[in-house]
Amino acid sequence: MLKRPRRNRISKQIRDLVHEVSIDKTDLVYPMFITEGETEEIQSMPGIYRYSLDDLPKALKDVTEAGITAVLYFGIPKHKDEVGSCAYDDNGIVQRGIRLTKELYPELVVIADICLCEYTSHGHCGVVENGYVQNDKTLELLARASVSCARAGADIVAPSDMMDGRVGAIRNALDENGLEDVLIMSYSVKYSSSFYGPFREAAGSAPAFGDRKTYQMDFRNKKEAILETELDIEEGADIIMVKPAMAYLDIAKAVSDRFCNPLAVYHVSGEYSMIKAAALNGWIDEKSIVIESLTAMKRAGAKMLITYYAPDAARWLEEN
């Protein structure tokens, strides 16, 4: 036989020479929860914590020593109200966390998730009137939250709400406040997914009524992902995202093939918890499963890998 593909797989050294896709520690983004309460482990996400401001420095030390260069912050306030006012309070929990992070680790890239769901008493991602989430009335609040987080020192703001027009509203607000160098990483393609269950426990953001299907995307749709991404780029998004990751690699590939903006994928809480549960039961090799999963995301076209496994993955990459 003249053609023997196995020759290119005959040893690790040869495989490493000819491989097509690699993961680097600089691809990894670590999502972190900052709370006004006490530090505690999240029951449905073993190994993941809500950190108090007192304990955040130690956590960040561990993260940076692992080689992680970017974090994504979610806030868990004590006070919640109908309009999520703590999301755009300059002394809010995320804003304080950002300032503390930049004091301790100024080179660490800080991404602020921009949404109201963790801050509203009803758990929805926007202003609710007559049982319906009002799109346009939510935009101003998202813009205010973005400006507040950017002033606190966030390098990137990441709107995750899926309101129409929010990227443009945020871009205009940032520019008007002299914050034109702050990036927008838009959750451009965020599906209404059952994979978010553990996150809603972590952030205390389960909706008090109904669901989010009127604003998050229908998982049956693919072409809609192209439309949503195109609109966000036109409005000023610097980085685009597909969420969730593993069950939506076809979407990530389609978006990556179509657009030049850097693509992030979010390896979400349910994906993390399923792997973690199987690993704790001894059913799978956790390290190899995680590295294989993250590599699949890169193979689909992602540049940024947002994953709760970031510190572990960074250490495992060092071992390979």
- Rounded CA separation 269/267 (Å): 7
- Give 227-245 pLDDT, tens digit per residue: 999 999 999 999 999 999 9
- Give 158-170 pLDDT, tens digit per residue: 999 999 999 999 9
Per the CB < 8 A criterion, the answer to whether 68 and 304 are in contact is no
- Rounded CA separation 77/87 (Å): 9
Per the CB < 8 A criterion, the answer to whether 4 and 17 are in contact is no
Peptide bond into 244 cis (omega under 30): yes
pTM: 0.95
Q: How many CB atoms lie within 10 A of CB 144?
A: 19
- Rounded CA separation 303/305 (Å): 7
Per the CB < 8 A criterion, the answer to whether 303 and 24 are in contact is no
Per the CB < 8 A criterion, the answer to whether 262 and 251 are in contact is no
Torsion sign across C-alpha atoms 197, 198, 201, 204? negative
Per the CB < 8 A criterion, the answer to whether 314 and 23 are in contact is no
Per the CB < 8 A criterion, the answer to whether 53 and 301 are in contact is no
- Give 43-71 pLDDT, tens digit per residue: 999 999 999 999 999 999 999 999 999 99
- Give 178-222 pLDDT, tens digit per residue: 999 999 999 999 999 999 988 877 766 677 666 788 889 999 999
Query: Among residues 160, 135, 86, which one has the least CA distance to residue 127?
Result: 135
So what's the pLDDT on residue 210? 64
So what's the pLDDT on residue 2? 87
- Rounded CA separation 216/111 (Å): 21
- CA-atom Rg of the chain in angstroms: 20
So what's the pLDDT on residue 125? 87
Query: Among residues 138, 144, 149, 152, which one has the least CA distance to residue 172?
Result: 144
So what's the pLDDT on residue 137? 94
Whether 32 shows a pLDDT value over 70: the answer reads yes
Composition of the chain by helix, strand, coil, percent to 5:
45, 20, 35
So what's the pLDDT on residue 208? 67
Pairing of strands 49-51, 40-41: antiparallel
Catalytic residue annotation: 190, 243
